[in-house]
Amino acid sequence: MLTTENRAVPRHHDLDRNEKIWRNIMDTKQLGNNIAKFRKERGMTQDNLAELLSVTPQAVSKWENNVSYPDIEMLPKLANNFGVSMDALFSNPVTPETEFVEPEKRKDPNKMLFKIRVKSHQGDTVSVNIPIALLKVLDFNRFVNNGNGTDDDTSETEDGKDSSGDKKNVFQINGINLGAIDWDQLLELIDNGVIGKLVEVNSADGDLVEIYVE
């Protein structure tokens, strides 16, 4: 007769075997992302991959959405079907911060955003997203240099003019002047297929300004 001490612990009182193993080794979220990436790169559907691995399409979907993990024994099969190493299944590829996009793969610039991130030396972070289409309509360089339009996060310089009496560049975010940036040049880069981080400036005070296009 089975004693109390020898009885199996109910499953819900313990972690699934796979989950125990995965928690102790690698980045399971990256694994799910890579399964989806490699599958799509090879033109496979979830049904195709499921058939090759003798599992259900629902299982593949759960892996890719990080709901569950494949068995340890399944990893060599995944790597073999994708033609990659076991390490590649878990690797987190470094994406270039700035990249050139071929003409046939480019998005419509008018549907993209300038993402401005300002991190002050005091630890404050301000994020501003500006539609590129808006910048083109406003003629943003002129808009900035003439000091038109401010909001809660922007402010004009004290007198609005430099020593020669001309208007100062007054576009500021969190006290950091962005008016000196050549926005027309940035728009030209985007029109020519350059995306990602376009500007990174470290001020003398230790503030960091980054401008991305996505």
- The CATH code for residues 15-90 is 1.10.260.40
Highest-scoring range by mean pLDDT, 41-50, 148-157, 169-178, 193-202: 41-50
Q: How many residues does the chain have?
A: 214
Instruction: Of 181, 198, 197, 15, give the one whose Cα is nearest residue 97.
Output: 197
Q: How confident is the model at residue 19 (pLDDT cuts 50, 70, 90)?
A: low
Q: Please, what's the largest Cα pairwise distance for the chain?
A: 99
82-139 pLDDT, tens digit each: 998 888 888 876 556 778 888 888 889 888 988 888 888 787 788 888 898 888 877 6
133 φ/ψ angles, rounded to the nearest 5 degrees: -60, -35
Q: Domains of the chain: which residue ranges?
A: 15-90, 98-213
Angle between the N-to-C axes of helices 75-82 and 28-41, in degrees from 0 to 180, rounded to the nearest 10: 30
- Helix ranges (DSSP H) in the chain: 17-23, 28-41, 46-53, 57-64, 75-82, 86-90, 132-138, 140-145, 183-191
